[in-house]
């Protein structure tokens, strides 16, 4: 594709390092990354990417809401892989892992061609050990996938002697990158400049042909998407990114983000409208973003000593460029011509990075938006060591002129710099993984036992509805609980998930987190409580779920569909009965409540465990076919969680409330105090 790799051994060493990196990140991903963070990029994955991918698998393009802020590129890739894995989250992790490895390979190849194998090796190695790159290597989302597409497109253009096919293929990949994230458009102005000014050929017709090949392929990829958008919305360029701009440039820091999106965002209908609100303030904010983004990027990605190396490398690169253009070149050998071309391409590569940074003034700072710039900073950081290597090879004793000695010293110094950063990045990622909201997986297990049928779950983020396969309804911002209950009935909500996160964003509803008594509109079912986090799952009193698995309602009201809001007795009770197990095997028995004991055949199966963060318990037990004696003691009261269950998971894997046909109540009475 380009000229042969300068140092085959260096490339193989780099490839080996990337394979080790893949193994390490795969271990972190598949062992610890079992659910996405609630206030991070995974919000988009659960609320848009995964639902869009499932719709694509059903050939359903009737939901433009999934494409309001991005194109179809990532959901399309996600759908393709999910057809194989049958798991969107797993597919997202695989896409990120392999995109990260492809990005590392491309970074090495690009910098190896434009500079030297050593520079490429150190830059790529350093990139592996930065905290942001490590984090987004396994996080589900568009970030790594988009980076790999951009780098692949650029690599095809930066090849030593690109043919027309390279321009065509680069255009296709750039178009798909735009379908993945619309900020690919940030690259188009410098790419246009490169395609006209930096092509090796001086032939006008050939230059024009290459440009048309690139942009023709680019538009061929985008055109079907424009037509689909037109069919869905009536606007071929439909997107609402100007609302992101409105929040960042008008309301950020003054208005809560949730309040903006629920009450103010629809006031804005175009980019022009956002700019015209206060053009002076907009431009000042743009300038402020540019002044702040660079320090924030460097601070979040690198330790202080590497930042100083980056600054020194930038100065040295400027000096090198200046000398290169001032130096007279009378000899135009093929080697010198190729060296000039590489210098021009390297200069363009940095010009491209600068252009991207300039456009980044339009967005707020998130480290994932600047992954593309990390290799440039690292290249600059290791530039002083390359100069040191060159100087050592020119002067000194014969030992110091040895390539092996020079390479060993250079890599040892760089390794000493990278080792602390690698360790710190790994520790940061481990802490991040430990902070994942795994309580949602326990709530998922609980909800999976509910009667079949799609339910509406209200929450701050789409995580719980997505992992349980139910519909998501955004938790509203209301001024009182009464207003909130009215909203529940209007939307037909079945379940409400409320946690520390929701309480911080909805102060009027904060009592839902601490007061679990029976309310007018909500019935408390399950809780999670640790020193750092609380969460509660409620069922709406107006829920239309068939046969809600609430044991007290069934016992006291004796109705097929009892009114949940009715008064219930308080006290301690004993239920004795028989459970019929149709098939022998291992059954999972589950129950949720605050004060209960469940025995089967005189053996204690489930009971409230002191110190348990959850009030939902399940246990696997091997049982023979037939009827088994059950005894359940429990306490009830308006201030307690409802007793929910009992449930079972059959040997065939089916989760459900134990059917009434399999449960005979022999005796039910109040327990003497």
3-class secondary structure per residue, 551-567 = HHHHHHHCCCCCCCCCC
Task: Please give the Cα distance from 210 to 229 (Å, whole number).
Answer: 29
Q: Supply the pLDDT for residue 557.
A: 42
Task: Please give the Cα distance from 106 to 383 (Å, whole number).
Answer: 19
What single string gives the DSSP state of each residue in 38-86?
Answer: TTSTHHHIIIIIHHHHHHHHTT----GGGGSSS-SHHHHHHHHHHHHHS
Mean pLDDT confidence for 490-499: 90
Cα separations in angstroms, 51 against 82, 84, 122, 465: 12, 17, 40, 11
202: tokens are 């001086």
pTM listed for this prediction: 0.89
**Do 604 and 651 form a contact (C-beta atoms < 8 A)?**
no
Cβ-based neighbour number of residue 476 at 10 Å: 17
Confidence grade of residue 668 (pLDDT, cut at 50, 70, 90): confident
Instruction: Tell me: pLDDT of 404 over 50.
Output: yes
503: tokens are 């309480």
Confidence grade of residue 370 (pLDDT, cut at 50, 70, 90): very high
Confidence grade of residue 376 (pLDDT, cut at 50, 70, 90): very high
Instruction: Tell me: pLDDT of 423 over 50.
Output: yes
Q: Supply the pLDDT for residue 559.
A: 39
Q: Supply the pLDDT for residue 346.
A: 82
Confidence grade of residue 622 (pLDDT, cut at 50, 70, 90): very high
**Do 269 and 68 form a contact (C-beta atoms < 8 A)?**
no
What mean pLDDT value characterizes the chain? 85
Cβ-based neighbour number of residue 481 at 10 Å: 16
Q: Residue 497 is inside which H or E element, if any?
A: strand 495-499
Q: Supply the pLDDT for residue 200.
A: 58
Instruction: Tell me: pLDDT of 458 over 90.
Output: yes
DSSP structure class, residue 550: B
Residue with the bigger pLDDT between 546 and 350: it is: 350
Positive or negative, the CA dihedral 536, 541, 544, 548 is positive
Confidence grade of residue 560 (pLDDT, cut at 50, 70, 90): very low
Cβ-based neighbour number of residue 471 at 10 Å: 18
Confidence grade of residue 426 (pLDDT, cut at 50, 70, 90): very high
Task: Please give the Cα distance from 60 to 232 (Å, whole number).
Answer: 11
Mean pLDDT confidence for 249-260: 88
**Do 14 and 120 form a contact (C-beta atoms < 8 A)?**
yes
659: tokens are 């059917």
Residue with the bigger pLDDT between 576 and 329: it is: 576
Give the tens place of pLDDT for each residue, 274-283. Answer: 999 999 999 9
Closest CA to 68 of 223, 240, 224, 236: 240
Instruction: Tell me: pLDDT of 229 over 50.
Output: yes
Question: Bridge-partner residues for 607, per DSSP?
Answer: 597
Q: What structural domains and CATH numbers belong to the chain?
A: 8-239+278-433 (no CATH), 439-540 (3.40.190), 551-670 (3.90.182.10)
Give the tens place of pLDDT for each residue, 1-17. Answer: 444 444 777 888 889 99
Percent of the chain with pLDDT over 90: 44
Q: Which residues contact 148 (CB under 8 A, 6 or more apart)?
A: 99, 100, 102, 103, 106
Give the tens place of pLDDT for each residue, 58-108. Answer: 988 888 888 989 999 999 999 999 999 999 999 999 999 999 999 999 999
Residue with the bigger pLDDT between 178 and 411: it is: 178
Quick one: three-class SS letters along 440-473? HHHHHHHHCCCCCCCCEEEECCCHHHHHHCCEEE
Q: Supply the pLDDT for residue 343.
A: 76
Confidence grade of residue 514 (pLDDT, cut at 50, 70, 90): confident
Task: Please give the Cα distance from 537 to 624 (Å, whole number).
Answer: 34
* Residues recorded for the chain: 673
Task: Please give the Cα distance from 496 to 503 (Å, whole number).
Answer: 13
Confidence grade of residue 396 (pLDDT, cut at 50, 70, 90): low
Give the tens place of pLDDT for each residue, 15-62. Answer: 999 999 999 999 999 999 999 988 778 899 999 999 999 999 998 888
Task: Please give the Cα distance from 449 to 443 (Å, whole number).
Answer: 10
Please, what's the largest Cα pairwise distance for the chain? 107
Instruction: Tell me: pLDDT of 665 over 70.
Output: yes
Instruction: Tell me: pLDDT of 479 over 80.
Output: yes
Confidence grade of residue 116 (pLDDT, cut at 50, 70, 90): confident
Confidence grade of residue 558 (pLDDT, cut at 50, 70, 90): very low
> Of 40-49, 231-240, 330-339, which range is least confident?
330-339
**Do 244 and 257 form a contact (C-beta atoms < 8 A)?**
no
559: tokens are 């109705």
Q: Residue 90 is inside which H or E element, if any?
A: helix 88-114
Mean pLDDT confidence for 486-504: 88
CB-hemisphere CA count at 13 Å for 559?
Answer: 10
Q: Supply the pLDDT for residue 633.
A: 87
Confidence grade of residue 393 (pLDDT, cut at 50, 70, 90): low
> Of 137-146, 222-231, 255-264, which range is least confident?
255-264
Q: Supply the pLDDT for residue 337.
A: 61
Instruction: Tell me: pLDDT of 273 over 90.
Output: yes
Residue with the bigger pLDDT between 201 and 513: it is: 513
Task: Please give the Cα distance from 648 to 260 (Å, whole number).
Answer: 44
Of the chain, the end-to-end C-alpha distance in Å amounts to 84
**Do 564 and 605 form a contact (C-beta atoms < 8 A)?**
no
Confidence grade of residue 564 (pLDDT, cut at 50, 70, 90): very low
Question: Bridge-partner residues for 622, per DSSP?
Answer: 586
Q: Supply the pLDDT for residue 79.
A: 95
Phi, psi torsion values for 643, nearest 5 degrees: -80, 120
Closest CA to 634 of 578, 579, 580, 576: 576
Phi, psi torsion values for 669, nearest 5 degrees: -150, 160
């Amino acid at each position: 594709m380009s000229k042969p790799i300068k140092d085959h051994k260096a490339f193989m060493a780099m490839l080996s390092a990337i394979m080790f990196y893949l193994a390490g990140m795969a271990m972190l991903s598949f062992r610890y990354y079992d659910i996405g963070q609630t206030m991070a990029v995974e919000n988009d994955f659960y609320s848009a990417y995964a639902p869009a991918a499932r719709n694509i698998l059903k050939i359903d393009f009737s939901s433009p809401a999934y494409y309001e802020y991005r194109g179809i590129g990532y959901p399309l890739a996600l759908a393709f892989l999910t057809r194989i894995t049958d798991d969107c989250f797993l597919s997202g992790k695989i896409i990120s892992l392999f995109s990260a490895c492809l990005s590392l390979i491309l970074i090495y190849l690009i910098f190896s061609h434009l500079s030297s194998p050593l520079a490429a090796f150190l830059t790529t190695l350093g990139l592996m050990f930065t905290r942001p790159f490590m984090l987004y290597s396994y996080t589900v989302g568009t970030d790594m996938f988009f980076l790999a597409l951009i780098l692949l497109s650029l690599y095809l253009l930066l090849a030593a002697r690109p043919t027309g096919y390279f321009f065509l293929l680069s255009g296709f990949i750039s178009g798909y990158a735009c379908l993945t994230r619309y900020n690919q458009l940030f690259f188009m102005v410098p790419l246009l400049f490169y395609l006209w000014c930096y092509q090796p050929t001086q032939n006008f017709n050939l230059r024009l042909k290459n440009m048309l090949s690139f942009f023709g392929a680019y538009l061929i990829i985008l055109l079907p998407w424009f037509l689909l958008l037109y069919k869905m919305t009536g606007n071929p360029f439909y997107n609402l990114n100007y609302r992101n701009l409105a929040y960042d440039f008008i309301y950020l820091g003054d208005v809560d983000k949730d309040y903006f999106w629920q009450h103010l965002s629809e006031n804005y209908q175009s980019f022009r409208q956002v700019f015209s609100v206060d053009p002076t303030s907009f431009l000042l904010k743009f300038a402020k973003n540019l002044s702040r983004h660079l320090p924030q990027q460097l601070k979040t990605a690198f330790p202080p000593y590497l930042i100083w190396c980056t600054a020194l490398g930038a100065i040295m690169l400027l000096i090198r460029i200046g000398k290169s253009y001032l130096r007279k070149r009378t000899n135009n050998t093929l080697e010198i011509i190729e060296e000039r071309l590489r210098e021009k391409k390297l200069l363009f590569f940095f010009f491209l990075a600068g252009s991207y940074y300039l456009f980044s003034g339009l967005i707020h700072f998130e480290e994932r938006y600047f992954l593309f710039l990390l290799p440039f900073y690292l290249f600059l950081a290791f530039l002083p060591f390359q100069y040191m290597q060159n100087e050592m090879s020119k002067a000194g004793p014969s030992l110091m002129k040895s390539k092996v000695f020079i390479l060993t010293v250079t890599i040892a110094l760089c390794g000493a710099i990278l080792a602390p950063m690698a360790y710190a990045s790994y520790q940061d990622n481990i802490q991040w993984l430990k902070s994942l909201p795994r309580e949602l997986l326990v709530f998922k297990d609980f909800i999976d036992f509910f009667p079949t049928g799609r339910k509406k779950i209200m929450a701050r983020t789409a995580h719980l509805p997505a992992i349980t396969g139910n519909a998501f309804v955004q938790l509203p911002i209301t001024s009182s609980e009464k207003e909130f209950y009215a909203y529940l009935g209007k939307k037909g909500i079945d379940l409400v998930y409320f946690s520390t996160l929701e309480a911080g964003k909805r102060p009027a509803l904060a009592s839902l987190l601490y007061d679990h008594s029976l309310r007018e509109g909500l019935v408390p079912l399950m809780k999670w409580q640790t020193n750092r986090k609380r969460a509660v799952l409620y069922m709406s009193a107006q829920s239309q779920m068939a046969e809600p698995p609430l044991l007290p309602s069934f016992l006291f009201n004796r109705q097929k569909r009892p009114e949940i809001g009715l008064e219930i007795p308080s006290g301690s009770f004993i239920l004795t009965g028989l459970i019929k197990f149709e098939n022998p095997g291992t059954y999972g028995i589950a129950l949720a409540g605050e004060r209960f004991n469940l025995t089967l055949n005189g053996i204690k199966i489930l009971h409230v465990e002191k110190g348990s963060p959850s009030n939902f318990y399940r246990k696997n037990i091997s049982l023979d076919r037939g009827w088994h004696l059950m005894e359940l003691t429990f306490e009830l009261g308006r201030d307690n969680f409802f007793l929910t269950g009992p449930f079972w998971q059959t040997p065939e894997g089916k989760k459900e409330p134990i059917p009434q046909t399999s449960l005979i109540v022999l005796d039910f009475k109040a327990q003497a105090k």
